[in-house]
Structure 1
Amino acid sequence: MTTVRLTQMEEEAWSKSDDERFFGEIYREYFPRIYNYVLYRVNNHHDADDLSNEIFVKIFTSLNRYQAEKASLPVWIFSIARNSVIDHYRRGLQPATSLDVISDLSDSRPGPDDTVASRELWQHLREALASLSQREREIIALKFWSGFSNREIAGVIGISESNTGVTLFRAMRRLRLILESQGVEY
């Protein structure tokens, strides 16, 4: 996705928010990223499907209120997704996020997931991620599973871009130290 495309999408969202064809473009562009983010957060494919669909209903019904000058389109969309996940937990529909879903989101190349070494690495990674704070795990999910920049993450979470970068750096350093202390080679 290019910057030009996002600018065009944002302008179109602002001027033609009731256009169903435009919503279809948004859906095709963002559904995989939203779904992976939600799946990481709720650790349940059924709930991830339901929540992702609920998120896109909210996007569709709110598109006429989107203001490009306040937030970029991906930040606005992921803010809706993040708030929906938070609401999901507030309703008490799921316990705290389990990190077992990470293996589902792992590298899709054939082979490594079938090896014992790969399974052990993912197990160590899940354990290391579990030692991080909820905010650190959320930043990592947005960065690596949804492909967001630090600026976009800051917009979604509501912290500064520099705070995002520092938090990400410290979380990655902690992960590396934990994995190294367990003798894990990666």
Structure 2
Amino acid sequence: MLFAPLRPLIDALDKTTTDTARATVREELASALTTRVRTMVRMRFATRMFVSSTMEDTVQECLLAVWKGLPLLESKEEAALAVWLSKIVRNKVADVFRRGPVPTAATTAFARRLSELTSPSRRAAKSETMARVLEHVHELNERQREVIELAFFDGLCTAEIGTVLDISRPAAAMSLRRALIDLQAKCTSLDDPR
């Protein structure tokens, strides 16, 4: 699983009776949600080769929608929560791109991810590889990019991807497989300049 489960924190929030314990659980849940949503939004901006000042605003919009809808969430399953969260992020990010042009910038969204690497040369190599992969993800068609985002940025399994895209699990698995084959072909075509 890409992210830590949120359901135990939500259940603890429902079961906690004292105000101080409830505040502590609420802080833990807010931190987990913020980390997860920020990563999901950042990755979606990066695959479109955009880094924008509106990215943090988009994260905040997503978090507001999540907190507003959390009490209404009926399912007790982690998978349903992941699908619901993914839909919110997808819709909010799509709204940003529908509003008009978003400032283009270099793909520096992964600088924080690479900071844990110790060697500067290794960090530079990883950064270059990440930038190339993101560029190729950007070149995929919309459906393939969406499947890649759901699988690797949101951490959804093929059944959950099928639920989000309103297709069967086998169709979601096939879409993901085709997207990965196309992405691999794009990535290897630059490595082998014949």
Counterpart residue number, 1:58: 65
Provide closer, same or farther for how the CA distance between residues 132 and 52 of structure 1 changes in structure 2, counting only shifts above 3 A.
same
Identity of aligned residues (%): 24
SS in 1 for 2:117: coil
Q: Report the CA distance shift for 1:83/1:12 in structure 2 as closer, same or farther (over 3 A).
A: farther
Structure 2 Cα separation of the partners of residues 182 and 44 of structure 1: 24
Unaligned stretches of 5+ residues in structure 2: 17-21
Displacement, 1:149? 1.9
Q: 1:41: Cα distance to partner?
A: 2.0
Range that drifts further, 105-114 or 123-132: 105-114
* Distance in structure 1 (CA, Å) of the matches to 2:101 and 2:23: 31
Pick the aligned partner of 2:107 from 90, 100, 105: 100
Aligned length: 179
TM-score, structure 1 as length reference: 0.72
Q: CA deviation at 1:53?
A: 1.2
What per-residue deviation string (whole Å, max 9, x for no partner) do you get for residues 19-64 of structure 1? 7655434322232221122112233253221111111111112222
TM-score by length of 2: 0.70
Question: Cα offset for 1:169?
Answer: 0.7
CA-based RMSD of the aligned residues comes to 3.6
Larger mean Cα displacement after TM superposition, 152-161 or 134-143: 152-161
Residue 167 of structure 1, aligned match among 167, 170, 175: 175
Matches within 5 A, 1:39-58: 39-42=42-45, 43-44=50-51, 46-58=53-65
Report Cα offsets for 1:119-171 as digits up to 9, x if no partner: 55345423422321122122212322332222233333433322221111111
**1:6 Cα offset (Å):** 5.1
Whole-Å Cα distance in 1 between the matches of residues 183 and 170 of structure 2? 20
The answer for unaligned runs of 5 or more in structure 1 is none
Pick from 113, 117, 123: which aligns with 2:123?
A: 113
- What is the correspondence of 1:1-186 to structure 2 with a 5 Å cutoff? 7-9=7-9, 11=11, 23-42=26-45, 43-44=50-51, 46-68=53-75, 72-92=80-100, 94=102, 100=107, 103-104=110-111, 108-111=116-119, 112-115=122-125, 118=126, 120-183=128-191
